[in-house]
Structure 1
Amino acid sequence: MTALAYILAALAEIAGCFAFWAWLRMDRSPFWLVPGMASLALFAWLLTLIDSDHAGRAYAAYGGVYIVSALAWLWAVEGARPDRWDLIGGAVCLGGAAIILFGPRAA
């Protein structure tokens, strides 16, 4: 459930931010902001579903998932294929996220 919540949150955040990008940088209609804001609200709600004792730890681990999802967006939506440095950086970030989320904690 945690992985799914992170992936869906990342997609919602990226879609919401892209709506603002499209409006401001691509001269799209301000109506793009409506689904953009809904998507960002969905993102925030999805992060509350993460199984973590502390919000900050859930958000920190989310960062790695967000980076990898942004690279997937880059390729799937924007048509720019990530290069090896993108992929290496994404793998490092995802590894760091796993350490933060699943590392043993003192009781």
Structure 2
Amino acid sequence: MRTIPIYAVAALAEIAGCFAFWAWFRLGRSILWLLPGMASLAAFGWLLALVPVEQAGRAYAVYGGIYIAASLLWLWLVEGARPDRWDLIGAAVCLSGAAIILWAPRAVP
């Protein structure tokens, strides 16, 4: 199934793009950080459009759970702050919800 890898790469692209803005605005990095940030956000939008889900709202809902888990990985791997048990429990709940939305049996119209 190619859906999960697309969501994962989209999450990485969105987080990296948003972090570029964070780095410029909050960490005082060069405004040049915005160039790869904007490219990364454009890649995010393109990738999310590739997800084989019929309705955009459903694709975004599933993505939300994956984004939360990916954000915690970013927190740990890039920012060096290990997620606590409440972060992990919250991510598990979100991923469970995303899985229900993605894989629920639905009548084909």
TM-score of the two chains, using structure 2 as the length reference:
0.97
Q: What amino acid sits opposite 2:107 in the alignment? A: A
- Following TM superposition, the consecutive aligned residue runs of length 4 or more in structure 1 with deviations greater than 2 angstroms are none
Q: What amino acid sits opposite 1:41 in the alignment? A: A
Q: What amino acid sits opposite 1:46 in the alignment? A: L
Which ranges in structure 1 are unaligned for 5 or more consecutive residues?
none
Q: Structure 1 residue 66 and structure 2 residue 37: aligned?
A: no
2:57 aligns with 56
1:96 aligns with 97
Q: What is the 5 A alignment of 1:3-82?
A: 3-82=4-83
> Aligned residues, how many?
107
**Pairwise CA distance, 1:51:** 1.0
- Note the aligned Cα RMSD (angstroms): 0.5
Q: What amino acid sits opposite 2:87 in the alignment? A: D
**Pairwise CA distance, 1:106:** 2.3
Q: What amino acid sits opposite 2:72 in the alignment? A: L
| In 2: Cα distance, 1:48 partner to 1:19 partner | 22
| In 2: Cα distance, 1:7 partner to 1:95 partner | 16
